[in-house]
Amino acid sequence: MFGYVLANGSSLSKEEKAVYKAHYCGLCRVLRERYGQKAMMALSYDMVFLEMVLSDLTGAEESSGTERCIPHPVKEHAYTITSCTEYAADMQMLLGYYSLLDQVHDEGKHRDAEKRMRRLLPMLEERYPRQSETIRIHLDELGRNEGAGCSDPEGMSLIFGTLLGEVFVSDDSSFFRDDLRALGCSLGRFIYLLDAWCDRKRDARTGSYNPIPAGIDAAAMREMLLDAASSASDAFERLPLDQHVFILRNILYSGIWSKFKEEKE
């Protein structure tokens, strides 16, 4: 379900692309160091967005360098790491586990990977009890509704949004926790709706669950997505961000719409 919160590269300068890629590579590096080489498979741009927002918001000091890695063994590439990268990596693994669990349940895939990642759960749940409990409760609610054949895409998206909203709050004592929670919730709504829209034809062929009822067209879906994106933008603009704000706005106002535009064509 993840992988929709990414930049529109055609609207970024060469320097901005380099900064964005360095944060991506920094998150990849931390995932590898904390969880091993296979953890890089869980990496998504969604958590790069979260890491950049939190780093900008907290004024976290950046640590940069260059390296070669397994995906890019020939040429050295730059990476950037902040104190928020570890949190984003941990959330990537926590969400990655439940994503794998969903694939095992729906498609019978990735059973071995799910078993390996399951061993990390006790440590992550102990370190992040608030986030872990929220993820578990709301995924269970989604599962029950799916089993009942719920055809309320906006209601289902709000459940997923509430889950992601909690992930966006790394520190519940932060002055900005409400706006971060609202940003994450609205982005979660957008992600859920867009994922359902992109999967609707495949799900119809396979008989898999999809919350979008028959008859909803691209115009109606665009209105639902626009409502979620607008709410995310409102929360985002209330945050005092400046360091990478152009890249983050590119993601929020343009990049997240890329897959919807592809589906319409």
Residue linked to tokens 């209330």: 238
Lowest model confidence (mean pLDDT) among 9-13, 26-30, 39-43: 39-43
User: In the predicted model, what is the mean pLDDT of the chain?
Assistant: 88
pLDDT (tens digit per residue) in 140-186 = 999 899 999 999 999 999 999 999 999 999 999 999 999 999 999 99
CA–CA separation, 35 and 244 (whole Å)? 28
The pLDDT value given to residue 117 = 62
Question: What local confidence, expressed as pLDDT, does residue 108 receive?
Answer: 47
CA-to-CA distance for 115 and 118, rounded, in angstroms? 5
**Residues 47, 28 contacting (CB under 8 angstroms):** no
> What is the total residue count of the chain?
265
State whether residue 77 is helix, strand or coil.
strand
Q: Which residue in this structure is represented by tokens 């102990």?
A: 126
Measuring CA to CA, which residue among 118, 127, 77 is closest to residue 100? 118
Q: Which residue has the higher pLDDT, 38 or 204?
A: 204
Q: Enter the DSSP assignment of 60.
A: P
Q: Which residues contact 195 (CB under 8 A, 6 or more apart)?
A: 1, 4
pLDDT of residue 1 exceeding 90: no
Q: What is the pLDDT of residue 169?
A: 97
Domain boundaries, the chain: 9-259
pTM recorded for the entire structure: 0.91
Sign of the CA dihedral 167, 172, 174, 178?
Answer: positive
Each residue of 68-116: pLDDT tens digit?
Answer: 776 667 788 899 999 999 999 999 988 877 665 555 455 545 555 556 6
Alpha helices in 128-217 (DSSP H): 129-147, 153-167, 177-206
Q: Hunting for tokens 């586990």 — which residue is that?
A: 97
Mean pLDDT score, 29-42: 79
Tens-place pLDDT, residues 119-149: 667 788 899 999 999 998 998 999 899 999 9
Is residue 13 over pLDDT 60?
Answer: yes
* Res 148: pLDDT: 96
Angle between helices 45-58 and 245-253 in degrees, nearest 10: 140
Calculate what percentage of the chain has a pLDDT beyond 90: 69
Report the first-to-last Cα separation within the chain, whole angstroms.
Answer: 21
The pLDDT value given to residue 112: 58
* Dihedral class, residue 207 (left if φ above 0, else alpha if ψ from -120 to 50, else beta): left
CA torsion sign for 149, 223, 53, 234 is negative
pLDDT of 104 reads: 42
pLDDT score at 122? 78
In one-letter notation, the amino acid at residue 108 is G
CATH 1.10.600.10 fits 9-259, yes or no: yes
User: So what's the pLDDT on residue 113?
Assistant: 52
CA atoms within 13 Å, Cβ hemisphere of 258 = 15
